[in-house]
Structure 1
Amino acid sequence: MDYKFKVEFLEPVIEFLESLDEKSREKILYNIWKSRSVNDNELFKKLDNEIWEFRTLYNKQYFRLFAFWDKSNKQDTIVISTHGIIKKTDKTPKVEIERAESLRIKYFNEKK
């Protein structure tokens, strides 16, 4: 199978995933794996200029992992996932998008 991008997790994502039950974690990881090969806004959706989200609905809970693209490596396109939440409302909280943007800036500053 041909993948469009690789996915890497920052520490807050790993902590978030470890805090979940095994079935929820497996469903999220499956959706991320699937989103690498199919274009589906239900799985991976752009939120603003630079921030995207991996989307999972499982057991009536909405899981979101925030992410951004790192295209600096010409061989591989990488999506960096910053952190995760269990969404309580229809709208994605602005503070979470801002947190993802802050982590994106920090990532690229440290990469230089």
Structure 2
Amino acid sequence: MKYFDTIFLEEAERFISKLDNKSARKIIYNIDLAEQTNDPKLFKKISDEIWEFRSKYLGNQYRLLAFWDKRDHKNTLVIATHGFVKKDQKVPQKEIDKAKKIREIYLK
């Protein structure tokens, strides 16, 4: 059973395309798994409207921030805004703010 579909906005696609092939494949695999499970190790809420796809590969922690788009009642969509390599324990506030701004623009 698939809980949602994921759409990658331009910045998210660009982030993944700049990674080495194995890291990119691991991220895509984890997103596909998150779509089919309800595992907070893979997809976790980090603010009121922003969520993060979580992947760890070869010691690097990759994050793609995202939000839900439930306007279409037939398909539940998650929109991936952008990605980054996480270096600290917390997701930087500037990354959350960036995702919120992209969400506002997208929903208009």
Same fold (TM over 0.5): yes
Report the TM-score, using the length of structure 1 for normalisation.
0.95
1:57 aligns with 2:78: no
The alignment partner of 1:36 has SS state of helix
Deviations 1:27-55 (A, max 9, x none): 00000000011111110000010000000
5+ long unaligned stretches in structure 2: none
One-letter amino acid of the counterpart of residue 50, structure 1: E
Quick one: distance in 1 between partners of 2:41 and 2:58? 16
Counterpart position of 1:87 = 86
Structure 2 counterpart of 1:6: 5
Name the amino acid aligned to 1:29.
I
Structural mapping, 1:33-52, within 5 Å: 33-52=32-51
CA distance in 2 between partners of 1:50 and 1:91 (Å): 17
Q: Distance in 2 between matches of 1:40 and 1:77?
A: 17
**Number of residue pairs aligned between Structure 1 and Structure 2:** 108
Deviation string, structure 1 residues 39-77 (Cα, Å, up to 9, x no partner): 111100000100000000100000000000000001000
Q: Supply the RMSD in Å over aligned alpha carbons.
A: 0.4
Cα distance, 1:3 vs structure 2? 0.3
Query: Using the alignment, how far apart are the partners of 1:77 and 1:41 within structure 2?
Result: 18
